[in-house]
Amino acid sequence: MIFFVGAVCRGFNLGDFECPEQSVPVEALSRPWETCQTMNSAWGYDISREKSYRTTKSMVQELVTVASRDGNYLLNIGPKGDGTMTSGSKKILNSIGSWMEKNSNSIYGTSGNPFPKEPSWGTYTQKGKTVYAHVFKWPKDKKLTVSRYKSKKLKLNKVYLQNTGKKLKYTVKGSKITIKVPKEAPDKKDTVIVMEYK
C-alpha cells in the first residue's frame, strides 16, 4: 500500500494548492495558493540575521498584494531555542497588528482585485458591494484616479478613509472615479479608501 503525504507539488500543477515560496505571483493563479515569507531571510533563529529585518511597510504591502491576487499569506517566525520570540519579530508583528486593527475588514473575507489590471499606485480588494483601494503611492496632486464598476445595477454611494471614516469628495466620469484626497497619506504603509456601492 502506498500513501502520499503532502498536498503540493510545485511546478507540476498537482496537489490541491500552489505554494510559491518566498515570492508573489504577478497575477492571481488559477487555483488556491499561498506564499511562505520570512521576516529577515531566515526560517529559524539566526543571530546573524537579527539586524536584517524587512520593514513593516514592505510586509503590509506584500500581505495586501497577496490578498488582492486571491492568495494566502503565511509569515514565518523564527523563535529562539527556548521558544521565545525575538524582539525584532515582536516589533514587526505588533506593527502589522496595529495596521490590521484599523484595516482588517479590507483583508479578511475579501476576494481579489475585481478589475482587469492593477493600478500604478497600489491595488484593490473586494467584499460584496464594497471595493477597497489600497494606496501604496500617494498622489502628489491630491487626486486619486480609481476604476469603477461598469455594472448598470450598481451605483457608487459613498467614498471614505478606512482608518478615520472621513468622507471624501469624488467625481465619476466613464469608467473612472477621481477622488480628492488629503495632501499627506494618513497611513504611509497603506492607506485604505473604501468605495461602497449600492
Q: Cα(156)–Cα(103) distance, rounded to whole angstroms?
A: 21
What are the DSSP E strand ranges found in 61-128?
72-75, 122-127
State residue 144's pLDDT score: 98
- pLDDT tens across 102-146, in order? 999 999 999 999 999 999 999 999 999 999 999 999 999 999 999
Q: Say which residue the cell 486593527 belongs to.
A: 101
Kindly provide the b/e burial profile for residues 87-112, where b requires at least 16 CB atoms within 10 angstroms of the residue's own CB: ebbeebbebbeebeeebebbbeebeb
- pLDDT tens across 152-170, in order? 788 999 999 999 999 999 9
Give the DSSP H or E segment for 94.
Answer: helix 87-103
* β-pair partners for 180: 143
DSSP assigned state of 119: -
SS3 161: strand
DSSP assigned state of 196: E
Percent of the residues in the chain that have a pLDDT greater than 70, as a whole number: 89
C-beta atoms surrounding 174 within 10 Å: 7
- pLDDT tens across 178-193, in order? 999 999 999 999 999 9
Residue 26 in grid coordinates: 504577478
CA 193 to each of CA 4, 7, 72, 168: distance values in angstroms, whole numbers, following the listed order: 45, 37, 22, 9
- pLDDT tens across 3-41, in order? 433 444 555 665 566 677 776 777 776 777 888 899 999
Q: Cα(113)–Cα(111) distance, rounded to whole angstroms?
A: 7
Confidence class for position 68, pLDDT limits 50, 70, 90: very high
Q: If we measure between CA atoms, which residue out of 179, 68, 180, 74 comes closest to residue 127?
A: 68
Q: Cα(190)–Cα(46) distance, rounded to whole angstroms?
A: 30
Give the DSSP H or E segment for 176.
Answer: strand 176-180
